[in-house]
Structure formats: structure tokens, C-alpha cells
Structure 1
Amino acid sequence: MVTLALVTGVFAWMGGRSVTEVTETKALATARTLAIDPEVRKGSTEASAQPAGEADEAITTPLLEITDDLRASSGIVFAVITDDRGIRLTHPDRDNIGKRVSTSPDEALAGRESVTHERGTLGETVRAKVPIYSTADDTTVVGEVSVGIHASVLDADLRREFLVLGSVAVLALAIGVIASLALGRRLRRETLGVGPEELAEMARDQGAVLRGLDDGVLAFSSSGVPTLTNSTAEQLLGIAHVDTGGGATSSRADVPEVIRDMMLEAPDHGALRRRVTVGDRILLATAVRVSRDGVSVGGVVTLRDETQVLTMARQLESVTSMARALRTQRHEFANRLHTVLGLVDTGATDEARNYLATILRTGPITTPVEGIEVITDPYLRALLEAKGTTAAEVGVSLAVTPDSLVLGRVNEPEDVTLILGNLIDNAVRAVVTKASGDGAEGAERAAEVFGRVEVTLLGSGPELHAVVTDTGGGVDDADAEYIFDEGTSSANDLDPEHGHGIGLALCRRTARRHGGRVWLLAGHDPELGGAGFAARLPDVLSDDAEDADDTFGSDDSSARERHTDDKER
């Protein structure tokens, strides 16, 4: 409105000025035409040569004819011709002929043209005054021509100009109002009826929420195009940060395709949850569609980094398995001590001595892991014994191959147990899955061993190599490409064999953090028939065999010697 008023005012001023200039130009042009007329110059020259007094009709009559015709044809109010004394020679009112003009003729008699707005005997007029030069030469002024156009004519032209301009302004105002209403309606539709103040408040709240969330947040349009991300989402997804203020970034083109696909697949009601792998991170992604008043306005994907949680869960699982195995061994050890104590209390020292000698001859407490004696590291041994105990409970035997040899000590026990434990768990699960398909159920699992998992461990300086094979169903070539991908998670899903869930993804991520790798060695092992997985973990062993000797004593040293002898044989 203000702009329209200003523009209208400017155009009104310019239009009024233009009309005024046109009127002034018309008066001046008419006066010039009259001043150069030969009859006018002749009459003015003759009148100026006569003594002061009444005008000679012989002079004024031809001039009156000229001025009357001019007034009739051009629409001017008057055309007055004077001599060099300012005495009228012509006038519309014949009674004023021979009298001095009512306005000063000095400018014109001095040889200068002028255009003025003055009031005279005929009222307010726009008048132009032009000098009349003598017929003898063009330098002597012998009179003036004064041409006037009534101000009412100018006012009428101005009113007409203002009417046109006003009509245009009203039309523009109407168009502006209609456009404003249409734009306002569209804005209300686009903003779902939220006003400017609410939008500003929502923007402030949005920025505060996005900055305060530990989870990553991505907003999508109704067509699935990313429109907003917070800094946490950028960090989790590894995309470049572009600050737009408010703790958020604008539309992104580098959001991973797996996140975009989730938004497109999200149901209209409820949420779609998946664990996805992006780079070295395992993320729990939740996609939810957002609608208002029944209209879809887009969707939101939240991201939570579960890498650490899953890693700790797997490590805790390994520790729990170790603790269970230790409790079993502690129980067996306690039974032996109670037997010795009972013999001593009854004075049967000879029987106690013989019982201890028998224990020494039969070796340490039995373990379900075949070939475990070649492993001297306490962490590896505890892990293998724990996994062997768990595997034996479901009818699977765990064995360490004779060609295994690890002389150093594990200095990264959490990561080593996580990777090796996952590979063993996956192998045991694969064996159980195949056996279930073959009809081994219930008590048969506890009554017999129907599967086998073999572990090969080799230490090379600070580097540990591990191979885990099984008698399970193996991995088909079509699945080999995807077994390390993160699987879909829901409340009813069970982890498929060989870690199609999260285990292998965690193993690979942990190995890469050390500069190593985990890979599928064979989809179907030529000896056992199941899958074979390999891992290479640099810098996880300390090259210190003496520490291992001090920890386990001469029995374990002898075990390594026996291992060497077996390999030589």
C-alpha cells in the first residue's frame, strides 16, 4: 500500500508537470507564431511610430481579425498585441483596446520571452509573452504578443490525467489485493495455517532442538528429497557441513541412498526401523512419515550410533561366556579340593597323596576345546574355553587346529575377543541351523555331537591371524557379496546364520580400526564343508614369549614344545 501510494504520488506529480509543460509550450508556440506574422509586425511597427493616444482603427482592425481567427481555431482565451508602450492594439473585450495591459510587458519589451501563470482581466491564465520586432530590422522591439490559455483548461487536463492515473492505481491496488489474497492463501496452505510469529518461534525452537539432540535428524520433503540435517547427522553420515544458521543445514544432495530409500519405503502409519552401515558406523535408523490434517508434508529420519553399544554388548557376551566356563571349572576344582580335604580330615594321607598324584597324571581340569593346550595367551584360552563350553551345550565341538601357534600376549583383548568370538558364534549357529534342518532337535543335541567348528590361530610378531571353519551349510556365491552388510532389524527377526545381522559388520569395522580386515575365505570349506572366515589383526600382540611362560609355567612351555615336535613329525 505504501509503495503504491508513493508510486502514484510520483506519477501524479510527473503527469501534472507534463500537462502543465504541454500547456505552457502551446501558449509559447502560439505567441511566437503570432509575433512573426508580417501583418502583426507591420501593425505594431506603425502603432509604435504614432504618438501616444487612441489606436488607429486602420491599424487595429486587421490585427483583430488575425487574433479573433487565432482564438477561434486554437482554443486560446486571448491573444493581445501591444505597441512598444504596452498599449493594447487587440483584445477580446473591445473596450480594453487602447489601454495599457494589466500585467507587466517589461520582459517582452526587453526582448525576452516568458511564460507565467498570472491573473488579469480575463482571470487566471497561463500566458506566454513574446517580443515583436520591427519590420525594418530584427533587433528593434516594437511591441509584444501575449497569448493566454485559461487555467480551467489546464485544470481539466490535470483532472483527466489524474483520473487516468487514479484508475490505473485503483486497478493496480485491486490486482495487488487479489494477488495478496491468493499469495496469503497459498502461504497458509504451504505453512499449514501457521502465522509469521509462530513460524519465527518454530524456527528458533527448531534450531534449539536440532542443536540439543544427540541423535542425528534428517528432514525430507513429501517427494523424498532431503531438506534439513543437523550437525549430528552430518557427523554420523560423514557428509560435509554447510552452516545456514539455527543448528541446521539446507537441502542436501549427499545423503546416502540407503537413508533416502528408507524414507520412500516408510509406511504411512508407524515407523520403519533398520540397522544400517554407513562407513565404519552401525546406525539405528528410524523413518517416520509426517502428515497434518491428512496431508503428507514429508518425513523425518532419526539416526542413533549403535556401534559402541553393539561392540560393548558383544564384548559383554564374550565375558559372560568366559565367566560361565570359569564357574564350571571352579565347581569341578572345588569338588576335587573337597575330596582331598575329606581324606586329610579322616587321616587317610596316603589316599590323599595318591589322589593328588592321579590328578597330576591326568592333567588339568578337562576342557571341551580340543587342542586348547597349544594356546598360551590367557585371553585367547579363556575365550576358546568359554565358547567351547557354550558350543558343547548345543552339540557342537570346538577344536583348535594342531598347526596353531601364538607365542605373544594379546594387548587388545576387547577387540580380539569381539572379532574371534563373533566368528565362532556365527560358525556354531551355522552348524546348529544345518543340524536343525537335518532333524537334530531337543535332547539329541545334548546327547550327541553333530557338528564341528575349527579355529586356527597364528601369531606373526604383533600380528594375529585367525581362521574359523565349520560343518554348517556354508555361504552361497550369491550371498557372499552381502554377508558383511547390515541386515534389517525388527522385533521378530532372528539373526541368520553367519552374521547377516550385525556381527560381521562389527567384526569388519573393528578390524579396520586396527588396519586389518575380516573376509570370507571360502563359502564351502573343502574339508569341513561349511564356510571359512579369516581375520588379520595387526598390532594386537606383544612379542613377549617370556611373559607367557611366566604366566602359565612350564606346563604351557612344554605344550609349545609338544606342538613343535608334532609339526616336525
Structure 2
Amino acid sequence: MRPRITLAGQFLALQLAIVVAVLLAVVGVSVAQADARFRQVEGQAMLAVAESAASMDAVRAGLAAPEQQGILQPTAESLRSLSEAEHLIITGTDRRMLSSTDPREIGREMDFGESSVLSGSTWIGVVRIGEERVLAAHVPVIDDEGVIIGVAVAGRSYPGPVEQLATAAPTLLVYVGIASVLGVAGSLLLARRIKWQTLGLEPGEITRLAEDRTAMLHGIKEGVLGLDRANRVTLVNDKAAELLDLPGDAVGRTLDELGVDTEIRRVLTDEEQEPDRVVLMGERLVTLNSMPLNRGNRRVGSVTTMRDRTDLAQLQQELDFTRTTTEALRAQAHEFSNQIHVITGLLELEEHDEAARYVSTIGGARTQLSDDVTSRVADSSVAALLIAKASLAAEQDVTLRVSAGTGLDAQDPDLSADLVTVVGNLVDNALDAVRGGPDPWVEVDLAEDNDAVRVRVSDSGRGVPPELAWKVFLRGFSTKGAESVYRGVGLALVRLVCSRRGGSVEVDGAEFTALLPTGVPRRPPP
């Protein structure tokens, strides 16, 4: 098994690698600087030697008269020995060498390379003289009439990389020493700081911890959203991204940039969080629980869990509806039992006429209620709901009436089911609001208007204060108190049903108005 390198060891190796890379770069820069310096300094020195040679009368005389070319070699060698040049060559305009440090080269054609000296200008560059690379300066030799009669070439052998590196060695040794000391010291200090910041965990342990956290974060069914102090997303799992409709690159972006709904953003960033807060996210009914993240005495962010309660809340509403129906039947059974006792007593007293009048009275009241509802509401489900709610209201000493302007035809099954949910929840909310008040009443008004069904439920209660009107559907506001875990779910479901059909619901004091478009199929929750 290979030994595992510690975090400090890894940082030390990395820093040393960086130091070596920097040193190589410094070596390259130093060599390049030495090369440029050599070209600059030595090139000017060779140019001065070549200009001196080109201006000598002996050189001009030797180039002007072929019979006097013999003086060029000693003249050039004499000048070369007095200068720093390693090569001093005189050539004619045909590039044939008339003098050279190697007599065997005399008479051979010289390689001028890219030199432009024959056009009348001086030139400094690298050429080859024999097998040697030479930094040379070319100067034209001009006679008294201004005609180019030859070229003076002064040069010095071009140093190789080793020689250039040797020239820069003293500086490089200083760089190496300083960089090594700083690199090792910096590596140790950095490793110590990182070790402290990571709570002593090694990279492998940090990787496993991150992988486990990611797997756990995306494996749970609840949504998890982390925010920092600036409301930027620090972590989000798949469920939270689905509920908030966030893109894949949400981490690091603020809620404003992600286009999160203003009301939901207000709930997520509220400093004072309530437990089990109910909100609507699109077509979902979601319970939020937020926990602040503190570092010392300073808040640095928050983590919010999101539990989708749509299906459970709808199931609870169905159970509540069943319970309401059962209670209405129980109330009717209790009422009928009392009425049967009265009838039985009248018969035992042989008050047959009184018994007949009593039966006619109670039967007429019940028939009148049913006829009053069914004459205005042709949809059997909604009519049955209103009759059941009327019996429940009567047991609570509340008058439930259907407005004289009510008119509702039979609707398709989907819209009928949505109407039952909306009417049932609004009536229940109104009954709770007027319970215990003086002369309590609840009025229901149903009407079809411009391809939509309008549901208006008003009561004799105090109504919703204007400052709370925006909260009643979003934040689980309820007049029921805190005894129910799902307080405010009924009104939230009303808004969910209306928005799902493309409608709306609003409140004005003690009057709730819901609008449900007809002919729109009810979309199942995602």
C-alpha cells in the first residue's frame, strides 16, 4: 500500500514545483536578457571597429587599386589586435574576402546573410563565418566620390546557451536561494493555515465528506435551500430547484437574479421565521421551515427545508368535506329525532290535527330550503354542498343564505369538483369568522359571467384587515388559531385551485371573491 502524502506534504511539493517552474522561467528570462545585452553592447562595439576600418586611408587605397590589395591583410590584422574584435574582414563589392583571420579564407565569397550593407547602410546581425556563428557589424567603404568600393566586417563569436547561463549564474543563484526559502516557508505556513481551516481533515476526507453531503442532499425528498447573507444561493437540491423553478446554475446567484417570486422571496429571507409556514409555489402547497446560520454572534445565512404538502392537504380537505357531510347528517339526524319525538307525543295525546300541522310545517321548511337552493343551483354537487352547509350552519346558530341573484347551471365534472373545493373552504372560513358574534350570517352568491363562474362569499364578521389581505392566501393566515398544524390550508387551496384554472381569488374585508374560468381542464399537480 502506497503511503498517503499529508496535506502539508502536498502543499510543500506543489510549492516546490512552482518554485522550480519560476526558476526555469527566470533562467529563460535571464538568458534572453543576456542575449539581448550581448547583441546591444557587443554589436555597437563591433560597429565602431568596422567604421574605424572603413575610414582608414590604407583600406580605401587597397580597395581602390588592385595592385595595392596586399596592404589590406596587415592593416586589418593590426586594427583587430588593437580592438576587441575576433574577426576583421575586408571584402570587395563582389563579397570576396580580401583579408581574414584565417588566410585560407582569402578569396572566398563571404555570406552576408540578411545584410543591407551593399545598399549603403550599416548593419548589425548574426552571420556565419566558416562554421562559427558570429555577431557581425557591416560598414560600407566609400571612396571620395561617394561610390561603395568594399565592405568592412568586424565580428565576435556568438556565445552559446551555456556561456550565457554562466554569465547570468551569480544573479540566478541569488534568485534560487530567495525563492527556495520563501517557497518552503510559505508552503509550511499555508499548509498549517489550511489544516486549521479544514478542521484537520485531509483532502481525501474532505472529498468523501463532500460526496456524502451531495448524495444525502439530492437523495432526500424534501427541498433544501441554503442562502448567504446577501441572499445568494449556496446550496440547493433537486426538489428545491423543482419547487422554485431554478436553473441548473443557481448556486452563486441571488434570488433576484433567479427571478424568484417577490412574495416567496420575502418569506425565504424573513429575519423572523415561523415554523411550518405554508406558502404557494406555482401549483404546489409547500410548508417551509427556516433555520438561521450564525458564526459567532453574526448571522451568515440560512437553510430552509421545503415539504410539498399539496397531495396531503388536498386529501385532508377531502376528509374535512366528508367530516362536514357527516356532521351535517348527524345534525339532521339529531333534528329529525327531536321532531319524531314531538310527533310521537302529539299522537299519544291524540292531537292528530296538531300533529298534522307540525308535520306540514317542518316538511315545508325543509322543502323550501332544498327548493330554494336547487332552483338557483343546477349543479347537483354544489347544491348538495350548500344544503349540507346550511344544516351545519343552523346547528351553530348561523344563518346561511343563498343570494337572490345566484344562478349556476350544471358544470363539467372537473369544474364542479373545483367549485365544491372553493365554495366549501370559503363557507367554512366564513362560519369560523362569525361564530359567537351577534346575529351571525353567511351569504353565498354564485353566478356565471363571461365564460367564468364567480363565487362570492360574505359574512357578518369583522373581515380581514387590509394590511393582512396579501397574507391570507400565501402565508397560512387563519382565524382558527394555532390548534391546527395546517392552519390556513383551506384558503391556500382556494388560491391553488383558482390559479390552476387561470382564475383568481381576492378578499375585501369580510367578502371573498373567486373567479374560475369555465372550459379549462383541471391540471393535475406536477
User: Shared topology, TM-score over 0.5?
Assistant: yes
Q: 1:451 maps to what in 2?
A: 440
Per-residue CA deviation, residues 117-152 of structure 1 (Å, 9 max, x unaligned), is: 999xxxxx9999999x9x9x99899xx99998999x
Determine if the alignment matches structure 1 residue 4 to structure 2 residue 22.
yes
Q: Structure 1: 5+ residue runs without aligned partners?
A: 52-58, 82-100, 120-124, 341-347, 436-449, 524-530, 542-569
The whole-number CA distance in structure 2 between the counterparts of 1:263 and 1:155 is 68
Post-superposition shift, 1:317?
A: 0.8
The whole-number CA distance in structure 1 between the counterparts of 2:219 and 2:228 is 23
The whole-number CA distance in structure 2 between the counterparts of 1:411 and 1:277 is 25
Determine if the alignment matches structure 1 residue 533 to structure 2 residue 512.
yes
The whole-number CA distance in structure 1 between the counterparts of 2:506 and 2:87 is 111
SS across alignment from 2:435: helix
* 1:224 corresponds to which of 224, 227, 231: 231
Q: 1:391 maps to what in 2?
A: 393
Q: 1:304 maps to what in 2?
A: 307
SS across alignment from 1:312: helix
Q: 2:166 maps to what in 1?
A: 159
Q: 1:415 maps to what in 2?
A: 418
Q: 1:259 to 1:170 in 2, by over 3 A?
A: farther
Post-superposition shift, 1:275?
A: 2.0
The whole-number CA distance in structure 2 between the counterparts of 1:222 and 1:482 is 25
Q: 1:505 maps to what in 2?
A: 492
| Mapping for residues 403-482 of structure 1, pairs under 5 Å | 408=410, 411-412=413-414, 413-432=416-435, 434=437, 450-457=439-446, 465-476=454-465, 480=469
C-alpha contact 1:4 1:173 (8 A) present in aligned 2: no
Determine if the alignment matches structure 1 residue 486 to structure 2 residue 475.
yes
Whichever residue aligns with residue 422 of structure 2, its letter is: I
Post-superposition shift, 1:7?
A: 1.8
SS across alignment from 2:512: strand
Per-residue CA deviation, residues 507-563 of structure 1 (Å, 9 max, x unaligned), is: 23323434544444x63xxxxxxx33344445499xxxxxxxxxxxxxxxxxxxxxx
Q: 1:198 to 1:386 in 2, by over 3 A?
A: farther
C-alpha contact 1:408 1:459 (8 A) present in aligned 2: no
| Mapping for residues 63-78 of structure 1, pairs under 5 Å | 71=82
Q: Structure 2: 5+ residue runs without aligned partners?
A: 1-17, 91-99, 112-126, 521-526
The whole-number CA distance in structure 2 between the counterparts of 1:382 and 1:308 is 25
| TM-score, normalization by structure 1 | 0.57
Q: 1:182 to 1:488 in 2, by over 3 A?
A: farther
Per-residue CA deviation, residues 247-292 of structure 1 (Å, 9 max, x unaligned), is: x65514122344444454446xx98542233455433222223357
| Mapping for residues 64-213 of structure 1, pairs under 5 Å | 71=82, 104-108=102-106, 110=108, 112=110, 159-168=166-175, 208-209=215-216, 211-213=218-220
C-alpha contact 1:4 1:169 (8 A) present in aligned 2: no
Whichever residue aligns with residue 454 of structure 1, its letter is: E
Q: 1:226 to 1:489 in 2, by over 3 A?
A: farther
The whole-number CA distance in structure 2 between the counterparts of 1:4 and 1:20 is 24
The whole-number CA distance in structure 2 between the counterparts of 1:391 and 1:30 is 121
| Mapping for residues 214-253 of structure 1, pairs under 5 Å | 214-237=221-244, 239=245, 241-244=246-249, 250-252=252-254, 253=257
Percent of residue pairs identical: 29
Aligned length: 456
Post-superposition shift, 1:322?
A: 0.3
Per-residue CA deviation, residues 82-114 of structure 1 (Å, 9 max, x unaligned), is: xxxxxxxxxxxxxxxxxxx9x843224536488
Determine if the alignment matches structure 1 residue 256 to structure 2 residue 261.
yes
The whole-number CA distance in structure 2 between the counterparts of 1:211 and 1:217 is 9
SS across alignment from 1:486: coil
Post-superposition shift, 1:20?
A: 5.9
The whole-number CA distance in structure 1 between the counterparts of 2:154 and 2:450 is 120
Q: 1:30 to 1:373 in 2, by over 3 A?
A: same
| TM-score, normalization by structure 2 | 0.61
The whole-number CA distance in structure 1 between the counterparts of 2:156 and 2:409 is 123
Q: RMSD of aligned C-alpha atoms?
A: 6.1
